[in-house]
Amino acid sequence: MSYLVLLRHGQSVWNAENRFTGWMDVDLSDIGEVEARDAGVLLHRSGIQISAAYTSVLKRAVRTANIVLDTLDICSLNLTKHWRLNERHYGALTGLNKKETADQYGIDQVKIWRRSYDVPPPALEDNDERHPRFNPIYKFLPPDALPSTECLKDVVNRALPFWQDYLARDLLKGKNVLVAAHGNSIRAILKHLENVSDKEITEIDIPTAIPRVYEFNDTLELIKVETLGDAEEIAKKQREVANQAG
């Protein structure tokens, strides 16, 4: 048996300000740090022994992973960072307040940008300083790998190779794997693992810092999916995600 734990990062500063974040590298809020520690406590209580850990290159996910591992008293584990686990790129919406954007463009239009499977938000101009090509952390990636906007379908296409090349490999070796990432990169992996349709995935809300645990047998057949934590608290967090303006 092996286990995969998918964990959205704790609340970020821009989550607290209700802003579209995407590839912008913002930190955890104070609440987000507490959430990450609480996630570590839940994993400790589950008895799952983490033996491999991955995260995006964005600090809110990296810090979440480090806090969880520290809470689990795992100090020697190498944390692997990969851009394929980044949040979806919100294009020209990046940094904008979700409610103000909904007031300007209408709730229905913003919901399409935010929730549809294959309709991306307006793209950034190539000379926009928010474009990832201006961030030195991505200098070793080919230019066509750096998005100016993304829809969820795009995130699925970039996340699946990571599942195949890293996560499936470790699980087949019997490792228990932690992935600390983002709402949409987790939805992309969840869609694949749980065979969720393009339509249904748009209605799934990923709450911050709630571990979702997948149990596999030795041939990587999915045996069980479990969300750790109090059911009422999980439902409350899911409603908060769903009810964000835009």
Question: Which residues have a catalytic role annotated?
Answer: 9, 87
Closest CA to 196 of 176, 220, 222, 218: 222
**In which order are the strands placed within the sheet that holds 222-227?**
79-81, 52-55, 177-181, 2-8, 212-216, 222-227
Q: Is 99 exposed, middle or buried (0-12, 13-18, 19+ CB in 10 A)?
A: middle
| CA 225 to chain centroid | 17
Closest CA to 147 of 83, 61, 82: 83
Cα(129)–Cα(102) distance, rounded to whole angstroms?
24
3-state SS class at 103? helix
| β-strand pairing of 222-227 with 79-81 | unpaired
54 sits in which H/E element: strand 52-55
Q: DSSP string spanning 173-229?
A: TT--EEEEE-HHHHHHHHHHHTT--HHHHTT----TT--EEEEE-TT--EEEEEE-S
Residue reference for tokens 């983490």: 50
